[in-house]
Amino acid sequence: MSLSCDHPGSSVKGNKVDGGIETCSFCHATRSYPPSGPGGWSEGKENVIQYCRSSDRREDLDGQVLDNKKAIERDGYWCDQVFQDFNVSGDTTSRDDIDLLLRLAPTKGWKRLYITELTRIGRSQGFIHATVEKLASHGILVVLSRRGVVLDSTTLEGKVLIGGLALGATIELELTRERNLRGRETMKRKGISGGRPRMRALSDAAILAVVEKHPEWSMTKVAANLGCSKATMSRRFKTLGIETIRAVPGRISETLH
């Protein structure tokens, strides 16, 4: 039995298995591993999928994947593919994996989409409704894995529940925005500057000194040491020509002095 991406399964050398998830070596599609049932992948069980989303880099997706996996096994299904959008806000309606999921939905025969909570689909009431309705039109029910609730938009009770949860997700987003705005206004009144330290506060000499002291460090490690982003440090590296300086022994010392 093949992966949902139609590439060969785990018998092909190169597929990666990590933390109960097999990743296709061709296109990085994923599904649960190890298989169950006779002869390998869970034959005879209906296909379901899961979707996970994190709002920022600090949020880990592993917990969502695990909770969905437990619910899928509890309900007697097997996971055909895991879709994940990392570091994407809930009010962003165009996302790589949610878009891919909706494109594949008409042809894959999936029965359910497992998510930990409805806010993982998004924070926009209209987008949540549109997504759930589109999935329902292809015979896919949305399941909230942490609550064990099946959202059926074809019934009146299901529509009411989806509407209430979607409204709650939208209100929560607006409240978060208001809290952030009030916080910024308070900081402004008190003369407190927020955010990442401005890169121009670091002199060229400071950057070059770190590079000279630790020539084996990567640009990412230099950026972390100086408290700035990798992208910002990349621009400063290019301005200073640090890769060229590194190629000539003693050149950094000459630049510093």
Q: What's the CA gap between 68 and 19, in Å, rounded?
A: 13
Residue 25's pLDDT band, with cuts at 50, 70 and 90, is: low
Query: Which carries the bigger pLDDT value, residue 164 or residue 214?
Result: 214
* CB contact set of 16 (below 8 Å; sequence gap of 6+): 22, 23, 25
The kind and range of the H/E element at 30 are strand 30-32
Residue 253 has pLDDT above 70, yes or no: no
Which SS3 state, helix, strand or coil, does residue 107 take?
helix
Q: What's the CA gap between 191 and 254, in Å, rounded?
A: 40
> Model confidence over 60-85: pLDDT tens digits?
788 999 999 999 989 888 888 899 99
69 within 8 A of 59, measured Cβ to Cβ: no
> Model confidence over 123-152: pLDDT tens digits?
887 888 889 889 988 999 999 999 888 887
Instruction: Compute how many other C-beta atoms are within 10 angstroms of the C-beta atom of residue 224.
Output: 14
The burial class, CB within 10 Å (0-12 / 13-18 / 19+), for 174 is exposed
Residue 44's pLDDT is: 47
42 within 8 A of 12, measured Cβ to Cβ: no
Residue 202 has pLDDT above 80, yes or no: no
Residue listed under structure tokens 């987008």: 127
Query: Which carries the bigger pLDDT value, residue 107 or residue 230?
Result: 107
DSSP, residue by residue, 191-227: T---SSPPGGGS-HHHHHHHHHH-TT--HHHHHHHHT
The kind and range of the H/E element at 143 are strand 141-144
Residue 14's pLDDT is: 53
Percent of the chain predicted with pLDDT > 70: 63
Distance of alpha carbon 49 from the chain centroid: 16
Helix-then-strand count for the chain, H and E: 9, 8
Residue 207's pLDDT is: 85
Residue 9 has pLDDT above 90, yes or no: no
